[in-house]
Structure 1
Amino acid sequence: MSITELSNKAQLLKDAERRSHHWLENSPVCTKIVDPNFNLQYMSESGVKSLCIFDILPYYGQPYPLDFYPQSFRTQMIETIKHARHTKETVTQEAAVVDLNGDEVWFHSTIVPVYDENHQLEYYMIVSIDITDRKSAEIKLHQMNSELESLVAKRTKALEEANKQLKISSETDFLTKLSNRLFYERRLCENISTAKRNDTYLSLLMIDIDNFKIYNDEYGHDNGDITLCSVAQSIADSLPRATDLVSRFGGEEFVVLLPETDATGAFAIAERIRKNIEALAIKYTQSDTGVVTVSIGIEALKAGTLNKIDLFKHADIALYTAKDNGRNCTKLFSLK
């Protein structure tokens, strides 16, 4: 090769080096050269500006400036570079650094181990792109999603609570706070199915406050409502088991379902209810006893004969028998 050709080639190399340097210094991409001992040898202008470094020269020949990294990313960066060295592969990492003004800057870095012709590690080239705007958007989106999820969770909980309260309201008597007729009808069907499946008795009590219309006329509806609530609470307190149910059937009438209870057991519970109500001593001058009393009718049916219609009909007949027998008493249904 002639001297002229060598000179031209040298000029071309020099021009290429100059253009490369110009590109590196003006590129928005931060390029760093780190030697095998992990000392910084070069950082392009983009990186210098991003980290708010006034003079980069004191950093050259010094250990890679890991102090810019928070501790968690510092450890991650070291491990990533070790991985690139051991595997001889190009690796990537996203990490945050804190510039000299204390602001967080995010970079997506590609770490390339560069080897000489003897396959010895010559240096690492670390090419980093500023992704702070993207990360800020991701963080903001994550926060918005978290806030939205929290809001949805709160709304869902509120809706569930509202539905729960609506269900309770739809099955609860507004005055006495006992279960209402709707709930009683549903529980009745459930209790009948259980009794048939287990071949057990189911008893129904029909309870009516004696001469309650006259009581209302004499003492007023406000006192009548108070008496209804007192009687309702007394019935509920008289029931021995959680499976027993008292419901307001309508007006001054109440019904009580007693699962797995025969006529003898039902009669004993009915008498307890009747006596406890009488013991409330709610004044009623037109009553034979001078206080509010109730009449109770009972029917107890077992699986083979148990059905909704007969259970209610027979308990209702027994209730009228109690009324015909002077009130303030309990009667079992009888075919006679």
Structure 2
Amino acid sequence: MTKTNAGHFFEDYRIGQTFRHGPLRTVGEGERALYQALYPTRFAVNVSDPVAQSVGLPRAPLDDMIVFHKVFGATVPDISLNAVANLGYADLRWLRPVYPGDSLGAVTEIIGLKENSNGKTGIVWVRTTGMNAAGEDVLTFVRWVMVRKRDAAGPAPDPVVPDLPSHVAATDLAVPAGLDFTGYAESGVRAPHRLGDYKVGEIIDHVDGVTLSEAEHMMATRLWQNTAKVHFDITARPQAQRLIYGGHIISMARALSFNGLEGAEFMAAINGGAHANPAFAGDTVRAWSEVLETASTPAPGVGAIRLRLVATKGSEAGVLKGEDGKYHPDVLLDLDYWALMPV
């Protein structure tokens, strides 16, 4: 009897199938320190207890992307161990802050299946919910992933493509309990711009770049327990190139966006996202943002800004797609998300 896990293949999934991923993983200050070592993040509320307390929180919460990585990584053995690539996200919402010492678990439901025309792979849509040890939901998201078939000649399930929302409404954003940005100016943060300084259609070039390395990428995938073969095993990819984990690109681009969006302290939701082209060690990641929408929230002094965050490996700010409607080959990530910032 086989005792090891070879991962699931496309034909193993069924609509409505549920996976409870385990075990609960405790996250602490170590994850915060390693996250800051991997990505040049400087958003003040996540790195400073005094700043967090000045805006109504008990202490500095962990970066929102740490929560995403931890929950995402927990799903990999059941969902994407045999993936060719993670393709996109929708309806991702952070529901409450996570603090050092919290423990996180996850549950995933299969909500869509469609075999690709080549017969060798298929697309699997899933909804994952992350929760803390108290059973409170902290994160929910839909993602879709291309997964290998075990047998290309095997039968495929009837196609089911889920109907997903185009974006998360501003009224559905979860604002951390107690968050109050009315005293943000006195918190000592270097963040000169407020919500009213940003205009819809504005393009912000974040200027800085970071060259990807094998060492940092492998540290990240191990830290987040993302054991998908394409990230670890050079024999699983053409030209013996390990594929850089897409979440690594999201975190890098988000960190780079600090230069120009210093006050966008919290990621509140991801409306949609696409890993437009693969990234490999040696690529230099740069980022730009487009302002899509602004909105108010019920919390004092707290506004919401909807942004398109684009990570590239060379194209100029504002360059996204060609005349054929396809992504420019230098575009790595196209992410539509909401952030919370002072008004």
TM-score by length of 1: 0.21
| Structure with the larger strand share | 2
What is the TM-score with the length of structure 2 in the denominator? 0.21
Answer 1 or 2: which has greater helix percent.
1
Larger relative contact order, structure 1 or 2 (CA cutoff 8 Å, min sep 6)? 2
